[in-house]
Chains A and B, each alone.
Chain A
């Protein structure tokens, strides 16, 4: 999609932008929004599988960022991991309030890059298979795997989001990948990988 919000210059740190926002600079808020809101939304959407709820959660996480801005202590936490952690926790709270059985919907819509009908169907089938397999993982394995392979966070960042050790993250990721591989191994041909 087209982003009407300009990204901040890469040399400006998150902390600097947040301090500028706390000082009344709305352009800093625009830069922080462009930099972090999409990923917060993506995390929430993947965890909640509901676009409207995901937007609510990501907006709430960003709101907490705006509110904490004047009290932010530089060097204590990385803004991105703090925000993703808040997002993840808000999602977890929502998931726990949901009734069992409504946590996962169908796979999200695959964006239309004008492929053929056959390609679209195959891509949709692969996405469905992947998200279906991910949906069967235990919660922390699922979150760790999504943060690693969709949001492309480092293991250190994931450990900060999940408030655990790097070793525990490696263990979560290893188990998650093995479970996914086991679930999808028999479907390689069906999914067009052989």
Chain B
């Protein structure tokens, strides 16, 4: 068996995540990833491909995506146009079969990683339409009467944001992992790989502010990991001193550059009130 996955130089994988990934790789089953937004679900496939040195195929699902589009599409309109123009290509239907991401992945010369991103965005029937394809790793092309089989069983990573329940038959075929929001220790590691050599005290202060913010009751949208990283990027760019982040700075009520963390005005307003109240009580 080849190498196993345990994160990369820019992606921190907890042991639980690494276990799930390796199980999926070894047993050749799809891995279903759920979790809070911004916890690196989509990034995972990219990093698996990078760390195991395999090509990556991405299939981003939208609300209008059909399962068939991942396999292939029959471009009837082009064929119709060609027939009106008298093109000779029209005789061979294969010229009008457009391969989808799944087909491309099946044809890959080495074992590929296939990302099916945000599967829950599509129609409820979407996962059901892919059962056989993911199970047997083959599908049938009706137009040309041929069966396409995967040369190497791809490592399939599927992400979901829980907008729709996935069918049981589909879930049975997958491994499942829920990426939970990182604790402070993991978060420090994550910040470390993104900003190596950052001043320790700035990171500590930033994290403290960040976690305190996440704990504030009643926030509409809690800041996520990716927002924390953006914020730190800004802090570094603006060269903010760690002291400025400390709560006891009386000049400003909110952390500097809070716009990177809070994304709607109700939350900003709520936080202002909370900070104001806690100041008043402290006195």
Q: Do A and B come from one complex?
A: no
Interface, chain A (partner B; CB < 8 A): none
